[in-house]
A and B are shown apart, each in its own frame.
Chain A
Amino acid sequence: MTPYRPELAHVVRRQEEAPGVLTLTCRFADPQVQRSFRFRPGQFNMLYCFGIGEVPISIVSDPETGTDLEHTIRVVGHVTDGLAHLQEGDAIGIRGPYGRGWPLDEARGRDIIIVTGGLGCAPVAGVIQYVIRRRDQYGDLQIVHGVKAPSDLLYRERFERWRNEPRTRVYLTADRGDREWHYHVGVVTTLFDQLEVRPGAVVMMCGPEVMMRYAARRFLEAGLSPDAIHVSLERSMKCGIGLCGHCQLGGFFVCKEGPVFRYDQVQPTLAREAR
């Protein structure tokens, strides 16, 4: 059977998150597939819009619920635009899950610092749910999230909910604020002085690569080991299984060996390719 075959699912809920950003909650048509679908936070699916095409989108929902799959999508091209036009009850194709997720086993017993920018909060939403559900297995959880403008902020209710969880701190910032924005103003790294970075902490980041580069430098200066920093990368993907060649990063296929990488494994290539 071709690995390119999508599985039929339906949109069971469609929620606008911000201008041009929405979350589709999907359920497989075949209950057997629905029951047996397993994934790890940080993995992604290839979502297929009938007659239009396929795009890689990370899975936002909690892997434990075993029910519906949430995908947060920003409209940036014709496929995501097609997906954004789907209504509740409409068909959608799903292949996956693909890639390597976040190092949740390695992080057990340790503090976790999550740094995200823009839509980068989506691939880590599952991690946050996962940790909160097993609060006693992990150390302190600090969540730092930055957006360009207040209107870009997604998951406002979730962030407020997470803020109230035990041993959990949430820091939100916007590059420029407005009258209603009562959180921090400035780029993500301007919040770092407020973070408590203790030895042994694990960092998980997702956002613009330039943001992650600066943030990684700060964590290294704060004494964290390079192998404690993890990043989720975004590249063009047509297959999700290491065949189409688009997502190559040096010798890695981001779809297969990533999208979550230990920072020290990809830093030299990222630096090279940025030049």
Chain B
Amino acid sequence: MESRTFPKSELQTLLDFLWSSGQRVLGPVERDATVVLDEVRRTEELPIGRRDRQGPGTYLLEDGEPNEIFGVVHGPDSLKKLFFPATEPLISLRREGRGFRVTETLPEGQALTVIGVRACDLAGAAVQDRIFLHDHARDSHYAVRRGQVTIVAVACTRSLSTCFCTSMDTGPRARGGHDLELIELDDAFVASAHSDRGAALLAAVDAATAPVATVARAEAAVDRCASAMERRLDTDGLRELLVNAADHPHWDEVAQRCLSCANCTMVCPTCFCHTVEDVADLRGATTERVRAWASCFTPEHGQIHGKNFRPHTRDRYRQWLTHKLSTWIDQFGTSGCVGCGRCITWCPVGIDLTSEVEALRRPAEAAR
């Protein structure tokens, strides 16, 4: 596949082309001291010259390289909220005589392009596809939202202290599911199309064949990012390890720190648990069944009448981590973790799953 290159100023041309062809364009936008996914019409709306510093329980935006457009790796938002929104009406029902009429409140399919998508988030969306587009129970709302999205990925040329995509084999280059991939250099982008749509986007900007040296420079930047990544998650034998570590005393140790606040599950690009609740009008004539994100860290999650299967924080953290890294593989043929590190950053007390796994690898006796 041919690599093209275009000057950074041409990104505005790409945005103009997308908006004028009826696309709504989302990208990283600085807001409330973080970066979120929101509409982008002008390049200046992107967090140019800014970088994120992330660590356990820490997220800071600061000035970085003045010309760098995609210097911020990510914020709490992933693609998840676009395909599987935090709340979403599924059906509405209206009383009619001694019955009711059901109307499916399917979202309108909209032409959407997301720019600046990281490889880990593409991997996260691929994991959620296995859940919501499963033959057994294809979720029509997810399918409609997912259907028409164009993805402009940006390969990472810097990693955060919380990143471990190389351990999960999901990055720093996009592994699939994108239309166009950009690598940002000081003065230009190196771009490669991965679909017809991506090729059409590339044709809309003033791009030239990328010289071999430029491509090499771009690839070297990504390689440096990969080799500089310090955090590791040793996945070897992890599936069996966690299932067999149910009695490990380290769960009690984590529970001393964990607030059971559910932040990790909210920012996780793959966590899919949800509930469905009625939102009825005051007269009781109409009602909507609204889906909302749920979390295994809440008491309700394991609750039936007279019994809670996960009454303690220990049980909930164990459920989350064991599911994420082990039983998820039984269910969906893939790990539930893509190595984005958000659960580490957004944990108010900085619990770091990679070091929890290391502790669980130590024999129980040593941990006592």
Contacts and interface: CB of A to CB of B under 8 A. Distances in A.
Interface string B229-248: 00000000000000100110
Interface of A is mostly: loop
Contacts of B136: 241-242, 256
A248 B91 contact: no
B330 A251 contact: yes
A53 B305 CA distance: 16
Nearest to A268: B243
Contacts of B131: 243
Nearest to B319: A248
B17 interface: no
A241 B136 CA distance: 8
Contacts of B301: 236, 245-246
Given A3-B137, A251-B331, A275 B246 contact: yes
Interface residues of B, number: 53
B49 interface: no
A93 to B, nearest CB: 7
Interface in B122-141: 131-132, 134, 136-141
B296 interface: yes
A253 interface: yes
A10 B98 CA distance: 8
Contacts of A234: 304
A179 interface: no
A244 B327 CA distance: 15
Contacts of A272: 246-247
Nearest to B295: A245
Contacts of A90: 98
A2 interface: yes
B315 interface: yes
Contact of B284 (A51, A53, A77, A253): A51
A51 B305 CA distance: 21
B294 interface: yes
A5 B104 contact: yes
A234 B303 CA distance: 10
A160 B172 CA distance: 69
Nearest to B132: A243
B188 to A, nearest CB: 44
Contacts, number: 119
A128 interface: no
Q: Which among B296, B306, B331 has the highest number of chain A CB atoms within 10 Å?
A: B331
A220 interface: no
A256 B134 CA distance: 13
Given A91-B100, A243-B274, A2 B140 contact: yes
A243 to B, nearest CB: 6
A181 interface: no
Contact of A245 (B98, B134, B274, B305): B274
B90 A4 contact: yes
A62 interface: no
Nearest to B243: A250
B275 interface: yes
Contacts of A239: 137, 276
Nearest to A80: B305
Contact of B273 (A8, A50, A245): A245
Given A4-B91, A5-B102, A251-B327, A243 B278 contact: no
A29 interface: yes
A10 B91 CA distance: 20
Residue among B306, B309, B329 with most chain A CB within 10 A: B309
Contacts of B132: 243
A110 B280 CA distance: 51
Given A243-B131, A244-B294, A248-B327, A29 B273 contact: no
B277 A53 contact: yes
Contacts of A91: 95, 98-100
Interface in B221-264: 243, 246-247
Contacts of B90: 2, 4
B323 A8 contact: no
Contacts of A3: 137-140
Top 6 closest pairs, chain A to chain B, by CB: A251-B330, A245-B273, A76-B305, A241-B137, A251-B327, A51-B280
6 contacts: A50-B284, A236-B304, A241-B137, A243-B139, A243-B272, A245-B273
Interface of B: 90-91, 93, 95, 98-100, 102, 104, 106, 131-132, 134, 136-141, 243, 246-247, 272-278, 280, 284, 287, 289, 291, 294, 296, 300-306, 309-310, 315, 319, 323, 326-327, 329-331
Interface of A: 1-6, 8, 10, 29, 50-54, 74, 76-77, 89-91, 93, 234-236, 238-239, 241-246, 248, 250-251, 253, 256, 272-273, 275
Given A2-B141, A5-B91, A8-B99, 8 more contacts: A2-B106, A4-B289, A5-B102, A51-B287, A53-B277, A91-B98, A236-B304, A251-B329
